[in-house]
Amino acid sequence: MNQDEHFLREAIALARDNAAHGGRPFGAVVVKDGSVVAVGVNEIFATGDPTAHAELLAIRAAANALGSPRLDGCSVYASGHPCPMCLAAMHLCGIRDAAYAYSNEDGAPYGLSTAAVYAEMAKPVHDQQLPVRHVPVRDEDGDLYAYWRQIASR
């Protein structure tokens, strides 16, 4: 069994166990240098937190385990196709690569696909269902980012 298959089977086992306990069927494993750093399962059902996807929780747990918000050199193995929230989280913290076993096509008949969110976010901003407006409001205390740099450089 190669590394992909080994860790994807672990992610699937986590997902299956989560489903057995009433959760959604998603699990994820963060791996560094061939070893598991952290795991996560979908906890939306248990916590009511809409961001509690398996990959996001595994990333948070891995950062905690490694003592750094940077996960450069780590890989994510997910039972299902990572959604754009989780993929963006991977980009933000330096995840090297990812693999998944069940596709959005596999999930669609069960309402377990996030292909629609990918499709929305691929549209031009002004055509998306969720409008994001730029309103260049400023307060009286000067540029926020210049203020931050001033504080950070002390």
- Site residues for a second copy, window 90-119 (CB under 8 A)? 90-93, 95-103, 106-107, 109-110, 112, 114, 117
CB of 32 to a second copy, least distance (A): 15
Contact of 10 with 36, CB cutoff 8 Å: yes
Q: Does 19 bind a second copy (CB under 8 A)?
A: yes
CB of 107 to a second copy, least distance (A): 6
79 binds a second copy (CB under 8 A): yes
Is residue 16 a contact residue for a second copy (CB under 8 A)?
Answer: yes
**Is 55 tagged catalytic?**
yes
Nearest to a second copy of 37, 51 (CB atom): 51
Q: How far apart (Å, rounded) are the C-alpha atoms in residues 101 and 12?
A: 8
With CB under 8 A as the contact rule, the residue among 33, 126, 136, 153 that binds a second copy is 136
| Count of beta carbons in the 10 Å neighbourhood of residue 56 | 22
Question: Alpha-carbon distance 44 to 86, whole Å?
Answer: 14
Q: Quick check: helix, strand or coil at residue 46?
A: helix
Q: Is 14 in the site for a second copy (CB under 8 A)?
A: no
Per residue in 8-26, is it b (16+ CB within 10 Å) or e — as a string?
bebbbebbeebbeeebbbb
Sign of CA dihedral 48, 134, 113, 65: negative
What does the per-residue mask of binding to a second copy show for 46-65, with x meaning CB under 8 A?
Answer: --xxxx----x--xx--xx-
Q: Which of 89, 115, 126, 127 binds a second copy (CB under 8 A)?
A: 89
